[in-house]
Structure 1
Amino acid sequence: MWTFLAAEEPASLIVPDSVQKANLAEAVNKIVNMDFSTLFGSLIRESLWILVKVLIALAIYFIGRWLVRRFLRLIDVAMQHRNVDISLRSFTRNTVSAFFTLLLILIVVSTLGVNVTSLIAVASAATLAIGMALSGTAQNFAGGVMILLMKPYRIGDYISAQGQSGTVRDIKLFSTVIATADNQTIYIPNNSIATAIIDNYSTSETRRVDWTVGISYGDDVDVARKAVLSMLAADPRVLPDPAPVVWVAALADSSVNLSIRAWVKNADYWNVFFEHNEQFYKELPKAGINFPFPQMDVHLTKE
């Protein structure tokens, strides 16, 4: 039995010469009798149809982009007429733009003949996987919505949050853009800033300026107070109500620390702060007020 199988198996794999010749003749006959004019005509028709679909898709894309821009302008005008907050206008514009751009891309892809249903299913599965990997992105979007609802700050406000200080330039879908005093652009994720402690210096029209000035022990506090108040009274940016005050804040190791407080408009805060710092340094010595240096009294005893 083993000898019979060994002999029969190779024989079944051998194709007779007559069959091979017949197959070769049939293949050659097909190539010789091929209608190249019909083939080229079909290729040309298919190429033209693909070109037409591409041109239609491009036309839909550019017309759609134009329509989206026009629609966004109409939204801006409508919200501006209704005095909608600028932060909400920016966020709404970005959201609507992203939605219609995605819709336009789906229409263009469908025009090219791609099965959009299958594409959406694949995209949904991919979005779910990416969303699980990038859950922070969804949290940032939710944080942006919370910022717009709670309004802890608006575009144009000067804030301090997450260790950064600057003017809010834009509230995007996933981040807040602030510009620092030295013109750096900082992007803070909305999720982190929405749950952080925020110092908003622009919510009130006025702001208090505080200085701490140390004078020497033995100097007349009343003279120092009068000199400081006269400097502040001569500055029109310092508000008369509430009136500026000068108090003795602390009796430090080598100085008597004066706490000086004055109210100004928000826009004048830093200019008043720095300019009067310099003015105190220049003018107080003319009134007989000295600025002490740290010192230590050493007593020697003779044994």
Structure 2
Amino acid sequence: MEDMIEQLGALWPLVLSAAKALIVLVIGWIAAGMISGVVRKRINKTPQIDPTLGNFAASIIRWALLAVVLVAVLGIFGIEATSLVAMLGAATLAIGLALQGTLSDLAAGFMLVLFRPYKLGQFVDIGGTSGTVKDLNLFVTELVTPDNVQIIIPNGQAWGSIITNYSAHDTRRVDMVFGIDYGDSADKAKEIILSQATADTRVLKDPEPWVRVTNLGDSSVDLTVRLWCKASDYWELKFAMTQGVKEAFDAAGISIPYPHSVEIKKEG
């Protein structure tokens, strides 16, 4: 019994240190999240600062505070900061090799914030993956697809991929192709398409709408229309034009042919 009491007495300082360390870790973790959240909100409320920078700065502050918490936890166990620095210095090479992917993501994160090929809220395509940018932090870029699916892309992969930013400019060009039957009037079809375009207030006057016969297909004469609009109106304008031109063609007796083959027999 006495031996057990002595063992418990010997373990008590370690248990106490572990409890203190746990408390410091929990409080530090919560505090780091709260402080970084406050920084993010303060920066994002400033009109002159891009929200992307606010999220990135908040991420840096959070990880820096967590590093301080880690040092404090180790200090509770008697590991001094100077000793910790010496240990980290000796293990730098091993850590660098083990975390080279993470360090690459970290460096890429700074490059993404510095050059800003995309910002929060923009719709982009990164290496074949499309979505709206929801977050950009130290290590990853978070996208949300139109059907509300979360996609996480490591910053190193994002920086090394082809980035297509559909929201970079205020205006976009809408390209559409309508096929009509060979027996229908191309001029009449062009007139209908232009009337639909000019009637829609979302279509910009400059550059003006453009319609041309661009292809003689196997079963249709193809007319291409090019319209300019605000980037935010792109999809709604495209949907409206598709329906409007279809209904106008029907009313004017212009048919939209489906692929078909014609058999010609030659007498002999």
TM-score class, shorter-chain normalisation, is 0.7 to 0.9
Distance 2:207 2:171 in 1: 10
Equivalent position of 2:113 in the other structure = 148
Distance 1:198 1:89 in 2: 22
TM-score norm. by structure 2 comes to 0.84
- What are the residue-to-residue correspondences of 1:110-149 with 2, within 5 Å? 110-114=75-79, 117-126=82-91, 128-149=93-114
Distance 1:178 1:124 in 2: 36
Counterpart among 247, 252, 268 of residue 233 in structure 2: 268
The count of residues paired between Structure 1 and Structure 2 equals 266
**CA 1:287/1:169 → structure 2, altered by over 3 Å: closer, same or farther?**
same
**Structure 2 residue 132 is the aligned partner of structure 1 residue 173:** no
3-state SS of the aligned residue for 2:225? Answer: strand
Q: Going by fraction, where is helix more abundant, 1 or 2?
A: 1
Equivalent position of 1:75 in the other structure = 39
Structure 2: state its 5+ residue gaps: none
- What are the residue-to-residue correspondences of 1:188-267 with 2, within 5 Å? 188-267=153-232
Counterpart among 37, 53, 69 of residue 104 in structure 1: 69
Code of the residue aligned with 1:259 in structure 2: it is T
Equivalent pair of 2:132/2:145 in contact (CA under 8 Å): yes
Which one is further off, 245-254 or 116-125? Answer: 116-125
User: Displacement of 1:71 after TM fit?
Assistant: 4.0
Distance 2:198 2:178 in 1: 18
Equivalent position of 1:18 in the other structure = none
User: Displacement of 1:233 after TM fit?
Assistant: 2.7
Code of the residue aligned with 1:79 in structure 2: it is I
User: Displacement of 1:52 after TM fit?
Assistant: 5.1
Code of the residue aligned with 1:151 in structure 2: it is R
Distance 1:155 1:258 in 2: 37
TM-score norm. by structure 1 comes to 0.75
- 1:43-64, CA deviations, whole angstroms, 9 ceiling, x for partnerless residues? 7765665565455445544554
Distance 1:52 1:134 in 2: 33
Code of the residue aligned with 1:88 in structure 2: it is L
